[in-house]
Amino acid sequence: MLLIVPPYRIEVALSLAIILFVLAFVLLFLVLRTIGLTLSLPSRVSGYRARRRREKATASFPRGHSPAFRRAFHAGLEESR
């Protein structure tokens, strides 16, 4: 395979040219993928933080509020008797 880039003429074996094209494609893909992931990082982090807050709130609700609800429920039962 003959590459002509004025003022140079470069002769490259076909197998080397194919390998270089594949490597260039993989490198371009990785660069674009890295850029895309980097740009989406703020929204992913905010979603993660919101999900963690929701999970913590859900997990702490039964432990923190159930004694108060039990007292109110029992007080309501005693009033109704």
| Distance separating alpha carbons of residues 37 and 35, to the nearest angstrom | 6
- Helix or strand run (H / E) with residue 9: strand 8-11
Which residues are within 8 A (CB) of 12 and not within 5 positions of it... i.e. 6 or more apart? 1, 2, 3, 20
Answering whether pTM is above 0.75, one says no
Residue 74 has pLDDT above 80, yes or no: no
Encode pLDDT of 7-41 as tens digits: 878 788 888 889 999 999 999 999 999 999 999 99
Residue 5, pLDDT score? 75
Helix, coil or strand: residue 1: coil
Confidence band (pLDDT; 50, 70, 90) for 44? very high
